[in-house]
Amino acid sequence: MLTRKEVSQLFSDSEHLLEALREANALTLKHHGSCVTLERALFLSWWCSVASCAFCYMAKQRERQGNAERAKRAPWRILAEAELLRRLGWEVEYLSGGYGAYSLEELRLIAEMVALVVRSRVWLNVGVLGAEELEQLRGAVEGVTGSVECVNEELRRRIVPGKPLPAIKRFLENAGEMGFATGITVILGLGESTADTSALLELIAELELDRITIYALNPHRGTHYENSPPPASLYQAGVIAAVRLSFPGIKIISGTWVDQLPNIGVALLAGANGITKFPLFSMFGTRHGRKVEEEVRHAGRELLGTFSDLEVLRGGRALEPERDPRRVFRRSRPEVSRETVAKLKHFRPRIERAVEEYVEKVLRNC
């Protein structure tokens, strides 16, 4: 793991940063090969019982949604999105969507149905779960995520007061001991400094994480950050490189919004294996979707899945096996209840109609 002095050097001048990128790129190719995944969080609802994170759009939504029940997405729409992700060769980054929206039983059911549709166990990002809850989700869940957001303690007290780090750490340690893969999310640009990168590395080491998602701040209107600039591309690349150099085997997902697409290439050179945070249905097949593909190509990487192939989107042709992450990577098959299979069958006509609606929406944009 990089020392505090090495982290400080990495951010001290462009020569050190370029050297870090060169080493991180070589390490990534050695440990992970050249494949890059397209990732998408599947949102379950617009409700969140925490609703106090200073950067979060959903914290604002809660005032409008009124109650958890009304804020839930229709299950067939979630499943239609899962169906399209599988068709397009995208990864379900995790099931997400605020805390406290679903009962454990509802969560188990939707996680199992999504896992059946994508033919693979899924990750969750739904807050802190206890051991008994995790045990009940085991058949459909491969990994769990802690929304750390930032590691600077003083900043955490102000901007994520409802998500105390000790509870997240206990949850991830426990999940790891139970055999689940574990990961965290962080957001760059919240007011942290480059020196906080060392604390981030220490946290990854302490929790022995399998995966990290490093988002760039997307300043949402109506939040504390609406007039804040997103973080510099080279700062995000520096943090990714520090993580890659310290943990060669970890999966790194880099998150950039549609107005930050040129950051993708350098994030990949810095060590990202996956990219996320795209509005799939408004970008697919457009110049923005193709721009993502170009960024990956010019970084010397091979993109799994597609951001532009309309025939694959329509279901007229299957994705080539060598571009399908479900063929390229080993998957653990879900184990689900009979009730889940029956429920999925029951929803099937509505899922098909929702798939058609999403496809038509994309085609209208192209």
Nearer to ligand SF4, 166 or 249 (CB): 166
The nearer residue to ligand SF4, 65 or 273, going by C-beta atoms, is 65
Residues 2-41, one symbol each (x = binds ligand SF4 by CB under 6 A, - = not), give ----------------------------------------
104 vs 195, beta carbon nearer ligand SF4? 104
What residues contact 353, with CB distance under 8 A and at least 6 apart? 76
Taking contact as CB under 6 A, which single stretch among the options 45-53, 106-114, 292-300, 357-365 is the one that binds ligand SF4?
A: 45-53
User: Which of 42, 50, 168, 355 touches ligand SF4 by CB under 6 A?
Assistant: 50
Among positions 96-115, residues that touch ligand SF4 (CB under 6 A) are 98-99
Identify which range of 51-59, 132-140, 252-260, 316-324 contacts ligand SF4 by CB under 6 A.
51-59
Residues 151-190 that bind ligand SF4 (CB under 6 A): 163
Counting every residue written for the chain, the total comes to: 366
Closer to ligand SF4 by Cβ: residue 108 or 163: 163
Binders of ligand SF4 among 58-87, rule CB under 6 A?
A: 58-59
- Give the closest residue to 87 by CA, choosing from 127, 18, 38, 20: 38
Query: Interface with ligand SF4 includes 53 (CB under 6 A)?
Result: yes
Asked if 147 touches ligand SF4 (CB under 6 A), the answer is: yes
Q: How far, CA to CA in Å, does 90 sit from each of 126, 199, 281, 300, 346?
A: 20, 31, 13, 19, 25
Of the candidates 7, 17, 51, 253, which one interacts with ligand SF4 according to CB under 6 A?
51
Q: At what angle do helices 233-246 and 263-270 cross, to 10 degrees?
A: 20
Q: What's the burial of 346, exposed, middle or buried (CB within 10 Å: 0-12/13-18/19+)?
A: exposed
Q: Residue 362 is which amino acid?
A: V
| Both tokens assigned to 34 | 């050249």
Please say which residue, 180 or 215, places its beta carbon nearer to ligand SF4. Answer: 215
With respect to ligand SF4, which residue has the nearer C-beta, 216 or 312?
216
Residue 144 makes contact with ligand SF4 by CB under 6 A: no
Identity of the residue, 113 or 150, whose beta carbon is nearer to ligand SF4 in the bound complex: 150
Residues that bind ligand SF4 (CB under 6 A): 48, 50-51, 53, 56, 58-59, 98-99, 147, 163
